[in-house]
Amino acid sequence: MNERPEVSLRPFEPRDAAAVYRWFNNPEATRTLMEQRDGFSLEEAEAWVRRAMDDSGEDRKYAIVVEGYGEPVGFTALYGLFRQTAPELGALIGDDVRGKGVGRRAEALTIARAFGEFGAHRVYGRIPARNEVAKKTVAGLGWKHEGTMRGHLRRPDGVDDCEVWGVLPDEFRAAAADLLLECRAEGTSISDSS
């Protein structure tokens, strides 16, 4: 695989349940999520995929596809589209591609959809304060730290702070211009679902 693998997004399919099951049962992948589960069954993964495939509401979830991998390696999501308030970005990289720029590229493609396809006026995210990788990723895409919710997350070993980050369209386009050009050069469509 290349140093910078080709990344694209696609809608979820029923056959993705095995990958979702694997991601949500990977402690390394889930340890920095906002909400954590004690377990995640295959039946729960199948139900999660059915909900992810439903585009009739205000949430959109996308499977992250990396060239050379037979199954998706994670997902991105936009929660709360079509409201007066901004949508929230969510993401999980569940497989061994962490640290190779996959999350950054997938998040950039998702944010581009929020602004281009869905007309969002801003995108925000809540990030556990200890998740330095996520903060570095969004900062590289033009996001700004907007505040901290102290003691917001209950964890088995206590409570953690949660940071709020956000980005406006012009900030994102300026910070991600080179990355988005690279994606277009690879043939990755910003607005298509495939």
- Confidence category of residue 2, pLDDT binned at 50, 70, 90: very low
For residue 190, being part of any structural domain is answered with: no
Express each pLDDT in 77-86 by its tens digit: 999 999 999 9
For residue 1, being part of any structural domain is answered with: no
Mean local confidence (pLDDT), 57-77: 95
- Does residue 182 have a pLDDT over 90? no
For residue 146, being part of any structural domain is answered with: yes
- Asked whether the beta carbons of 74 and 99 are under 8 A apart, the reply is no
Cα separation of 105 and 112, whole Å?
A: 11
- Confidence category of residue 47, pLDDT binned at 50, 70, 90: very high
Q: Other C-beta atoms within 10 Å of 66: how many?
A: 21
Express each pLDDT in 89-141 by its tens digit: 999 998 788 778 899 999 999 999 999 999 999 999 999 999 999 999 999 99
Mean pLDDT over the full length of the chain: 89
Cα separation of 69 and 155, whole Å?
A: 33
Q: Which domain holds residue 49?
A: 7-185
- What's 43's domain CATH number? 3.40.630.30
The predicted model scores a pTM of 0.90
- Does residue 10 have a pLDDT over 60? yes
Cα separation of 65 and 59, whole Å?
A: 19
For residue 191, being part of any structural domain is answered with: no
Q: Tell me what pLDDT residue 184 has.
A: 66
> In this predicted model, which residue has the larger pLDDT, 72 or 156?
72
When divided into structural domains, the chain yields a total of 1
